[in-house]
Amino acid sequence: MLIAANKAVSIDYTLTNDAGEVIDSSAGGAPLVYLHGAGNIIVGLEKALEGKQPGDELQVSIEPENAYGEYSAELVATLDRSMFEGVDELEVGMQFHASGPNGGMQIVTVRDIEGDEVTVDGNHPLAGQRLNFQVKVVDVRDASAEEVAHGHVHGEGGHHH
């Protein structure tokens, strides 16, 4: 069966940056299971997997515009410590939900703390990076009507309600 929209796809993968450092991998664990065509994975990888079948292996490099986007300096802001009311121990690396520039919610990460000035970054940690995937297609099956309606795979390797 070929990978196409509304197929439940299982893949083994290793993700590296351009320096060859492993960022993420399914090695030693269960395959990643996703609903093809539902935006469950980055668009560039989804396009590369279209039409593949179980047993196929591929290496693909995904440019930022087809992954997590370009890095945007506009998503970095310096806030006063008082904006974090109720947080006793503020530390670099902490993440918070905040209002985004388009009015929606976004996740920001604390990048720096100097006195009462806290620098936060709303970019995805992998924004601006080329992502290199080594992928093996493990399984492809028809998604159930419920999985298609919910926009994700259920059961083992997928979402549990």
pLDDT, tens digit, for every residue of 136-159?
A: 999 999 999 999 999 999 876 555
Q: What is the pTM of this model?
A: 0.82
Asked if residues 130 and 84 have their Cβ atoms less than 8 Å apart, the reply is no
**Number of domains the chain contains:** 2
pLDDT, tens digit, for every residue of 55-72?
A: 999 999 999 999 999 999
Q: What's the pLDDT at 159?
A: 54
Q: Which helix (H) or strand (E) holds 145?
A: helix 145-150
Of the candidates 125, 135, 151, the one whose C-alpha atom is nearest the C-alpha of residue 69 is: 125
Domain co-membership, 63 together with 25: yes
d(CA 52, CA 58): 9
* 57 Cα distance to chain centroid: 21
1, part of any domain: no
- How many CA atoms within 13 Å lie on the side-chain side of 41? 25
Cα angle: 133, vertex 139, 145; to 5 degrees? 110
Q: Which helix (H) or strand (E) holds 49?
A: helix 43-49
Asked if residues 90 and 118 have their Cβ atoms less than 8 Å apart, the reply is yes
Residue 27 backbone phi and psi in degrees, to 5: -55, 135
59, part of any domain: yes
17, part of any domain: yes
Domain co-membership, 40 together with 59: yes
Domain co-membership, 117 together with 42: no
d(CA 81, CA 96): 13
